[in-house]
Amino acid sequence: MEQREAVKLEAGRGGLLGVKAGMSHVFADDGSMVPVTVIDLRPNVITQVKTKEKNGYQAVQVGFAEKSAKKVGKCEAGQAKKANAVGFHHYQEVRLPEGAKMDGLDVGKVLDAAMFTAGELVDVTAWSKGKGFQGVIKRHHFGGNYATHGCSLSHRMPGAVGMNRQIGHVPKGKRMAGHMGHERVTTQNLKVVAVDTEKQVLLVMGSVPGPRSGIVTVRRAIKSLGKKKAAKSA
């Protein structure tokens, strides 16, 4: 991808897309070891700008992870062409608060990792690891049945799920076997340990949802923003 001009999101929570590269650790000034997750903030190319007058709200649509031309359809190619790109594997909107300045947020530019600073709190959202179809012991932490005293073929069974009295059917929300994982998960208030604007790498304290090489969304922590607004109004 050609060199693009970087712009910084100043208002609201903002947001950047990245790839979960894995976990590592760094050492603090006092010598303590801090576990961190390395997030590769690949270029977030602005593919569309939405304004209050035209769309009813303010946002920027970004394309992430550019793909080859043979995998791009005509409709997507026409949209990506405005950003001087071929196409992207993932598109996502970044909402901006009403009245936020849109200066410099033009199609074709990239969002800069400098919007985050070391020490601030962020929320990280991703799809959790898929576990497939699982039983009640793994999915809901059931204790299981007896191992002896005549227990046969029912060691990991859920037991009774319904009743013959009153409603006479299985209640809604009953904990049973089923699909586990692959859900949209957000981990809040993670501390930013370091930001490398040259390599576009972000180090976040602790673990984040999703598998390695999965796409994650990093935004300013909504709870810390609420505290700042309350402090200003007071």
177-209 tens-digit pLDDT? 999 999 999 999 999 999 998 888 999 999 999
Check whether residue 123 and residue 136 sit in a common domain: no
Least confident range from 114-118, 162-166, 192-196, 214-218: namely: 162-166
SS3 162: coil
Contacts (Cβ under 8 Å, ≥6 apart) of 47: 61, 62, 63, 79, 80, 82, 83, 85, 88, 91, 107
Inter-residue contact 87 to 66 (CB < 8 Å)? yes
Asked whether residue 53 is assigned to any structural domain, the reply reads yes
What is the widest separation between alpha-carbon atoms in the chain?
A: 74
How many domains is the chain built from? 2
Look up tokens 């303590």; give the residue.
32
Which is nearest to 128 in space by CA: 201, 87, 179, 80?
A: 179
The number of residues making up the chain comes to 234
Check whether residue 111 and residue 96 sit in a common domain: yes
Choose the final residue of a domain: 163, 181, 199. Answer: 181
Task: Give residue 226's pLDDT.
Answer: 63
Local confidence band at 97 (pLDDT 50, 70, 90 cut-offs)? confident
Q: What is the mean pLDDT of residues 214-221?
A: 94
Check whether residue 84 and residue 49 sit in a common domain: yes
Inter-residue contact 65 to 25 (CB < 8 Å)? no
Share of the chain above pLDDT 70, in %: 93
Q: How far is CA 107 from CA 44, 103, 232, in A?
A: 11, 12, 34
Check whether residue 112 and residue 30 sit in a common domain: yes
SS3 56: coil
Q: CA 207 to CA 85: how far, in whole Å?
A: 33
Check whether residue 204 and residue 102 sit in a common domain: yes
Local confidence band at 233 (pLDDT 50, 70, 90 cut-offs)? low
DSSP H or E segment with residue 175: none
Asked whether residue 55 is assigned to any structural domain, the reply reads yes
Task: Give residue 101's pLDDT.
Answer: 81
127-151 tens-digit pLDDT? 999 999 999 999 999 999 999 999 9
Check whether residue 212 and residue 96 sit in a common domain: yes
Asked whether residue 62 is assigned to any structural domain, the reply reads yes
Task: Give residue 124's pLDDT.
Answer: 96
Inter-residue contact 42 to 89 (CB < 8 Å)? no
Check whether residue 83 and residue 25 sit in a common domain: yes
Asked whether residue 117 is assigned to any structural domain, the reply reads yes
Which is higher by pLDDT, 49 or 14? Answer: 49
Asked whether residue 1 is assigned to any structural domain, the reply reads no
Which is higher by pLDDT, 79 or 10? Answer: 79
Q: What is the mean pLDDT of residues 69-91?
A: 89
Check whether residue 61 and residue 155 sit in a common domain: no
Local confidence band at 1 (pLDDT 50, 70, 90 cut-offs)? very low
Check whether residue 175 and residue 222 sit in a common domain: no
Average pLDDT, the chain: 89
Residue 225 has pLDDT above 80, yes or no: no
- Its domain, for residue 159, covers 132-181
State the CATH number of the domain containing residue 36. 2.40.30.10
Which is nearest to 124 in space by CA: 136, 116, 112, 135?
A: 116
Residue 45 has pLDDT above 60, yes or no: yes
Task: Give residue 232's pLDDT.
Answer: 60
Residues facing 19 on adjacent strands: 40, 215
Check whether residue 21 and residue 51 sit in a common domain: yes
Asked whether residue 122 is assigned to any structural domain, the reply reads yes
Asked whether residue 208 is assigned to any structural domain, the reply reads yes
Check whether residue 85 and residue 103 sit in a common domain: yes
